[in-house]
Amino acid sequence: MPYKLIQVEINDEVATLTLKRPDKLNCLNAPILHEMSKALGKLNTDDGIKALILTGEGRAFCSGADLAERPLGTDKNQPGISRAEHTTPFVSFGWVVKHIEDFTKPVIAAVNGMAAGGGLALALAADIRIASENAAFSAIFVKRGLVPDCGVSYYLPRLVGVSKALEMMWTGEKIDAREAERIGLVNKVVLQQDLMKTAFEFAQSLAKGPSLAIEMIKRMAYTALKSDSVMTQMAVENFMQQVCMESEDVKEGVMGFLEKRQPKFTGR
């Protein structure tokens, strides 16, 4: 379907979703959130897509909520929202974060510029963050007299530790890409001109791998964060290993090893 405020491109089993409000630093209003929800839901059910890249057009990744527009994405009475959205915390904002959280394939945030507020949440909800040298990050909420939302208070302490997360959330100060890399907020920093190439090559390497196992690894890792014991987690591992053992990819992986060649995985 055609979108006005985002762009979705699919290339070699990798989908790229680009926010396209560059004149507004890709800030989030109700229409763009609705388009993101529809696109993410559709992409997640497409078995031909093995990885997703999120990025922004222009000089910002996403500057957060568009405070100048009504209705805001948090308005439960905004037109066009579903019952499920209506009952989700922060409505459209929460629904988009939930879509990213529930995305079964790897999600890579290619952070090209400022990621602030709700934009920071989008980056944090991704599995991997690759930042350009121009990227910056801010939990800016406190500077508006607000507390972090959209899952920032959930994701941030898990990525950088409680003390650093509190510092970022208490001050709302901006950190640059290198500092974000140092504290573990991003996986890698690259030159601005290399950002999308680097993100795509990484996403493509995952797409060409044993995608069923890669999806199971993602689910396993997040389950482990909530697991109460190693025995519980090993039960999860056992189930997911059985799923993989029944796949064609395992047979191909073994044959590739025995025949001393690179396996050709199909994700089945």
CATH number of the structural domain spanning residue 18 = 3.90.226.10
Please report whether residue 263 resides in a domain.
no
Same domain, 97 and 217: no
Alpha helices per DSSP H over 45-114: 83-86, 91-102
Same domain, 216 and 177: no
Q: Provide mean pLDDT across the span 147-155.
A: 96
Q: Out of 69-83, 97-111, 206-220, which region has the weakest mean confidence (pLDDT)?
A: 69-83
Mean pLDDT of the chain: 95
Please report whether residue 268 resides in a domain.
no
| pLDDT above 70 for 47 | yes
Same domain, 48 and 107: yes
Give percent above pLDDT 90 in the chain.
83
| pLDDT above 70 for 48 | yes
Number of structural domains (the chain) is 2
The token pair at 79 is 């037109």
The token pair at 253 is 């992986």
Q: What is the pLDDT of residue 1?
A: 65
Same domain, 120 and 85: yes
Helix axes 30-44, 91-102, angle to 10 degrees: 20
Please report whether residue 266 resides in a domain.
no
Please report whether residue 267 resides in a domain.
no
Q: Across-strand partners of 60?
A: 114
Q: Supply the range of the domain harboring residue 106.
A: 6-207
d(CA 120, CA 113): 11
- If pLDDT is split at 50, 70 and 90, which confidence band does 100 have? very high
* pLDDT tens digit sequence for 248-261: 989 888 888 888 89
- If pLDDT is split at 50, 70 and 90, which confidence band does 70 have? confident
Same domain, 112 and 227: no
Same domain, 147 and 228: no
d(CA 38, CA 2): 11
Please report whether residue 264 resides in a domain.
no
Q: What is the pLDDT of residue 61?
A: 98
Please report whether residue 185 resides in a domain.
yes
Question: At which of 182, 207, 232 does a domain end?
Answer: 207
Same domain, 153 and 252: no
Q: What is the pLDDT of residue 168?
A: 98
Q: What is the pLDDT of residue 77?
A: 87
CB 44 within 8 A of CB 107: no
| pLDDT above 90 for 122 | yes
The model's pTM = 0.95
- If pLDDT is split at 50, 70 and 90, which confidence band does 266 have? confident
Q: Provide mean pLDDT across the span 65-81.
A: 88
CB 131 within 8 A of CB 180: yes
Q: How many CA atoms lie within 13 A of 165 on its CB side?
A: 19
